[in-house]
Each structure stands twice: as structure tokens, then as C-alpha cells.
């Protein structure tokens, strides 16, 4: 098993909360991590029809069977359990009594907020980070290969062909989640919508234009975006809220959690195809943003990421808010750090003044550098 960065936070949370909720996309390694950390807990999956029927029809009897605690996989499939869980954990007051995992935010979060508020700690687990793959000596040698292969554990654990795996992932997992969350009459149309979203990763989210191109209404496009977010396929990066004396863009940007999935949806099946693809830059940006997000979520903290753009065209790809300062991150896929990126970061420092932390340029090359107090990081060292 590849050691997960989130394990440290998960063990820390286990000392103080009776219920832990481990969420994230399907096949991101939630069950593997939970069973490794809580190996003494019995495991039960509510994807199993027999177990699910037991939990739905007799939640009290189900929990009595696991009175000493358990890992309950895909817990959102049985919302009836949550109110019964509240009584059990309140009575016994045991740390890490129940470990819940789930791959859909809607059902899991609604059950937690209604019945388990104050009793549960949340941790979002995304697919492998670059640091995890690097420690295991599995990080691909080239940037294009890293993007195409993506970060999902099965691709690395079983050395699978990424393009074949992503095709099955979309069909067996994403479409099933869609059917569970909403009534989609035309799955081909939803797949087209998903591919259109991949073509917009790293761009401002325009729901009207996206709906028009997918031949659906604005409200349907908004609903489908919410479904993809709930299934941890995409996320929205918010614009930074402070003005800095400029008129700001207030629309969020759309990103995929996994650049490999986005690349496959765009029809890219090899590093050679990616190398000359017009969206190589936005796919690299998607990869970098995901790495910063994983670093934050693996510590069981919410995202502190945003971007900044004004209506004059000035922008910063990523802002990281920490310690009262804003670290600006510029992302360039080229193998040589360009002067344009340096000028943009310098302009940001002038604009933000005392609020500006040390800016950083992440690029597609291989050499770490330092220029004019700007940290320059190659992609492998992110």
C-alpha cells in the first residue's frame, strides 16, 4: 500500500471524535486507507444489497451487530442509519467508534449535518498526490505522462492502461452516481456535457454557454455541475473577494480534480498526443491546482485557494491564503520559465503590498530557481 499523506490527520482526528467521515471520489483509496488505519474494525459495505436492506429495514439491529464499532462503506446509501448512530455514539462516547466512507457529498453531508453535527470529523481524500507517488517511486518521468496517467490508485496499484481504465470509470461509476442523484433520461447527452466540461477545465464557468453547447437549459447545466461536484469529479475555484482597487471578475473557474480524467475526456490517450494538444497548458494548470488542493485537504482543513482576475486582464492563477498573507502562484507548462510570468507576479506584489507573500512560479521544466524573491518550482518538486 502506498502511504497516504492524509493518514496523519486521520489518526489525529481519531483521538477526538466518535465518528470519522472519509469522503472523496470513487476509487480514490478511501476504503483502503480506512481499513489500514482501523484494522481492528469490522468492515461492511452498503453497496452490498443484503447489508443495505438490513441497515434500511432494521437500523437498530444493524448497529447492535456492530456495537463495538465498524467501518461502514458508502454510508450515504442508507440515510436511516444516521439518527440511530447519534444515540449509539452519545451513549458510549468512544473515539473513532464508527468510520463512515462515501463517494457522494449530498447524501453523506445531509445525514451528518442533521444527526451527527459536533460528533463527526470530516476528511476529503482525493486520488494520489505527486508527493505520495514520488515517495513510492511511481511518479512518471515526464510531465505529459504524469498528466495522461492521472492520479487514481487502481492505475498505479495494478499497472493498468489509463485510457482503458478511464473509459470504464466513466461508464461504471460516474454514470451510476448520476442515476442515483438525478433522473437523466439521456446518458449520451450527459456524457457530452461531461466532455464539454473537460474542454473548459481551467476556465471561467459560463453556465449559459455550457448549457447552449450541450443543448440543455441553464438550470439543467447548473444541476449537472452540482452533481459532478457532489461526486468529486470537478470543483469550482472561487475568485478572491478583495478588491485591490480594481473591478474584479466574480465568476468561479471550473477545474477537474484529476487531470488524467479530463485529458481522456478530451480524447487524449498518450503523452505524445498531449505534447502538441492546444489544451496542454490548461491541463497542466488543472494538475497543479489539484496538487495544492490535495495538500490542504490531506490535513483535514477546507480549501484556502482562490484566483484573482480583474476586468483589465490582470490575473493570478492561484492565491493561497495563509497566516494573513496571500501567496500568488503562476502556472506555466513550458520547460523554460518566461519573463511574462515574472512580470505578472511582480505586478501582483505591487498591487497587494503588505498582504503579498512570496510568489511562486510552477513550470514544466526540471530546475528549481530563485529570481527577484520569486520561487521557481519545477513540476516534479511541487
Q: Is residue 336 part of a domain?
A: no
- Domain housing 14: 6-124
Same domain, 156 and 44: no
Position 43 scores a pLDDT of 98
Same domain, 72 and 137: no
Same domain, 88 and 222: no
Boundary-marking domain end, from 107, 124, 141: 124
Same domain, 188 and 259: yes
Following DSSP, what letter does each residue of 304-351 receive, concatenated?
A: -EEEEEBTTS-EEEEEEEETTEEEEEEEE-SSS--HHHHHHHHHHHHH
Report the mean per-residue pLDDT for the chain.
91
Residue 175 has pLDDT above 90, yes or no: no
Residues 6+ away with beta carbon under 8 Å from 336: 363, 365
Residue 166 has pLDDT above 80, yes or no: yes
Instruction: Residue 26: count other Cβ atoms within 10 Å of its Cβ.
Output: 19
Q: Is residue 352 part of a domain?
A: no
Q: Is residue 318 part of a domain?
A: no
Position 117 scores a pLDDT of 79
Position 355 scores a pLDDT of 83
Position 177 scores a pLDDT of 76
Q: Is residue 20 part of a domain?
A: yes
Position 135 scores a pLDDT of 96
Among 144-148, 318-322, 324-328, 348-352, which is the least confidently predicted range?
348-352
Strand pairing of 253-256 and 234-237? Answer: antiparallel
Same domain, 172 and 261: yes
Q: How far apart are CA 109 and CA 230, in angstroms?
A: 10
List, for residues 260-294, the tens digit of each pLDDT value: 999 999 999 999 999 999 999 999 999 999 999 99
The H or E element spanning position 371 is: strand 369-371
List, for residues 13-28, the tens digit of each pLDDT value: 999 999 999 999 999 9
Q: What percent of the chain has pLDDT over 90?
A: 70
Boundary-marking domain end, from 67, 94, 124: 124
List, for residues 61-79, the tens digit of each pLDDT value: 999 999 999 999 998 888 8
Closest C-alpha among 125, 177, 172 to residue 290:
125
Q: Is residue 303 part of a domain?
A: no
Boundary-marking domain end, from 86, 107, 124: 124
Q: Is residue 373 part of a domain?
A: no
Closest C-alpha among 258, 269, 256, 263 to residue 164:
269
Strand pairing of 325-332 and 315-322? Answer: antiparallel
Residue 107 has pLDDT above 90, yes or no: no
Among 35-44, 86-95, 126-135, which is the least confidently predicted range?
86-95
pTM for the complete prediction?
Answer: 0.94
Position 243 scores a pLDDT of 65
Q: How far apart are CA 319 and CA 207, in angstroms?
A: 24
Q: Mean pLDDT throughout 285-313?
A: 93
Among 145-149, 177-181, 367-371, which is the least confidently predicted range?
177-181
Following DSSP, what letter does each residue of 84-131 receive, concatenated?
A: HHHHHHHHH--TT-EEEEES-HHHHHHHHHHH-TTTEEEEE--S--HH
| Cell numbers representing residue 327 in the block | 501567496
List, for residues 224-272, the tens digit of each pLDDT value: 999 899 889 999 999 987 766 666 778 999 999 999 999 999 999 999 9
Position 288 scores a pLDDT of 98
Same domain, 275 and 137: yes
Q: What is the CATH number of the domain that holds 88?
A: 3.40.50.300
Same domain, 73 and 143: no
Q: What is the CATH number of the domain that holds 164?
A: 1.10.10
Same domain, 146 and 74: no
Same domain, 120 and 11: yes
Q: Is residue 294 part of a domain?
A: no
Same domain, 78 and 148: no
Residue 313 has pLDDT above 90, yes or no: no
Same domain, 29 and 78: yes
Please state the domain count of the chain.
2
Position 246 scores a pLDDT of 63
Q: What percent of the chain has pLDDT over 70?
A: 96
Q: Is residue 340 part of a domain?
A: no
Same domain, 153 and 202: yes
Q: How far apart are CA 204 and CA 226, in angstroms?
A: 16
Closest C-alpha among 32, 26, 127 to residue 71:
32
Amino acid at each position: 500500500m502506498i502511504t497516504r499523506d492524509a493518514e496523519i490527520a486521520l489518526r489525529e482526528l481519531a483521538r477526538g471524535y466518535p465518528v470519522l467521515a472519509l469522503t472523496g471520489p470513487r476509487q480514490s483509496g478511501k476504503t483502503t486507507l480506512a481499513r489500514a488505519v482501523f484494522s481492528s474494525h469490522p468492515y461492511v459495505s452498503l453497496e452490498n444489497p443484503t447489508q443495505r436492506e438490513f441497515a434500511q429495514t432494521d437500523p437498530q439491529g444493524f448497529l447492535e451487530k456492530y456495537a463495538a464499532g465498524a467501518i461502514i462503506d458508502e454510508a450515504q446509501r442508507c440515510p436511516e442509519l444516521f439518527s440511530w448512530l447519534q444515540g449509539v455514539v452519545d451513549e458510549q462516547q468512544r473515539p473513532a467508534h464508527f468510520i463512515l466512507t462515501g463517494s457522494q457529498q449530498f447524501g453523506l453531508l445531509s445525514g451528518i449535518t442533521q444527526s451527527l453535527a459536533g460528533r463527526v470529523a470530516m476528511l476529503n481524500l482525493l486520488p494520489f498526490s505527486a508527493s505520495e507517488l514520488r515517495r513510492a517511486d511511481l511518479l512518471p518521468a515526464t510531465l505529459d505522462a504524469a498528466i495522461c496517467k492521472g492520479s487514481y490508485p487502481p492505475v498505479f496499484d495494478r499497472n493498468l492502461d489509463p485510457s482503458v481504465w478511464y473509459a470504464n470509470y466513466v461508464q461504471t461509476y460516474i454514470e451510476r452516481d448520476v442515476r442515483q442523484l438525478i433522473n437523466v433520461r439521456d446518458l449520451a447527452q450527459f456524457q457530452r456535457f461531461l466532455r464539454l466540461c473537460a474542454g473548459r477545465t481551467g476556465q471561467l464557468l459560463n453556465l449559459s454557454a455550457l448549457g447552449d453547447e450541450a443543448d440543455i437549459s441553464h438550470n439543467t447545466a447548473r444541476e449537472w455541475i452540482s452533481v459532478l461536484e457532489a461526486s468529486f469529479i470537478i470543483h469550482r475555484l472561487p475568485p478572491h473577494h478583495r478588491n485591490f482597487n480594481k473591478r474584479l471578475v466574480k465568476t468561479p473557474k471550473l477545474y477537474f480534480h484529476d487531470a488524467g480524467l479530463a485529458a481522456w475526456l478530451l480524447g487524449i490517450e498518450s503523452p505524445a498526443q498531449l505534447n502538441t494538444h492546444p489544451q496542454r497548458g490548461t491541463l497542466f494548470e488543472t494538475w497543479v491546482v489539484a496538487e495544492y488542493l490535495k495538500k490542504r485537504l490531506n490535513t483535514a482543513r477546507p480549501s484556502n485557494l482562490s484566483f484573482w482576475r480583474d476586468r483589465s486582464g490582470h490575473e493570478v492563477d492561484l492565491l493561497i491564503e495563509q497566516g494573513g498573507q496571500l501567496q500568488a502562484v503562476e502556472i506555466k507548462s513550458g520547460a523554460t520559465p518566461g519573463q511574462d510570468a515574472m512580470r505578472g507576479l511582480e505586478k501582483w506584489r505591487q498591487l497587494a503590498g503588505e498582504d503579498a507573500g512570496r510568489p511562486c512560479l510552477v513550470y514544466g521544466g526540471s530546475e528549481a530557481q530563485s529570481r527577484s524573491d520569486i520561487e521557481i518550482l519545477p513540476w516534479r518538486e511541487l
